[in-house]
Amino acid sequence: MERFSFSTDIRIRFAETDAQGIAHHASFVVWLEVARVAYLAASAGGYQSIRDRGMEALTTEVFLRYHRAAYFDEMLRIWTRCTDVRGARFRYEYRIEREGEPIADGHTSHATVDRETNRPTRVPKWLVEAIARAEASAG
């Protein structure tokens, strides 16, 4: 059974809708990123602090399954957890809800690279531990 330790709320912008009258499916990909940034801010000093230490996290995979349309000005809750931190790779899982109703779910995969050389670099120990602590507190 899935357990999520963390959530972020976003309000759907008008610019994020399309001519079908719903939130465009690419907008969700941006929201997942907003959720990751919020997750790292809460658990590991923020994404910028990771960038400041000379690393970048590249996105290597995005998967989204859309269950229901979402509309302008609605508030969505993005449940987020970090899993499978291994070597230079890690993964996030997401569940997007509107007042408890499932709207979409998915995952993203990432690789950490050195900012200068652009080569894979292990997720540093402090970050592995910060994520482990964040997820343990979800227990």
Give min distance, CB of 66 to a second copy, in A: 5
Per-residue b or e along 83-117, where b marks 16 or more CB atoms closer than 10 Å to that residue's CB: eebeebbbbbbbbbbbeeeebbbbbbebbbbeeee
Give min distance, CB of 18 to a second copy, in A: 5
Of residues 30 and 138, the one with the C-beta less far from a second copy: 30
Of residues 65 and 133, the one with the C-beta less far from a second copy: 65
What are the two backbone dihedrals, phi and then psi, of residue 85, each rounded to the nearest 5 degrees? -75, 115
Give min distance, CB of 76 to a second copy, in A: 15
Using CB under 8 A as the criterion, which residues of the chain lie in contact with a second copy when the complex forms? 13-15, 17-22, 24-26, 29-30, 33-34, 37, 46-48, 56, 58-66, 69, 71-73, 118
Of residues 13 and 137, the one with the C-beta less far from a second copy: 13
Structure tokens at 57: 């996290």
Of residues 25 and 122, the one with the C-beta less far from a second copy: 25
Of 53, 59, 45, 54, nearest in space to 130 by CA: 45
Give min distance, CB of 92 to a second copy, in A: 13
Q: Give Cα separations from 37 to 27, 54, 71, 117, 129 (angstroms).
A: 16, 17, 23, 23, 17
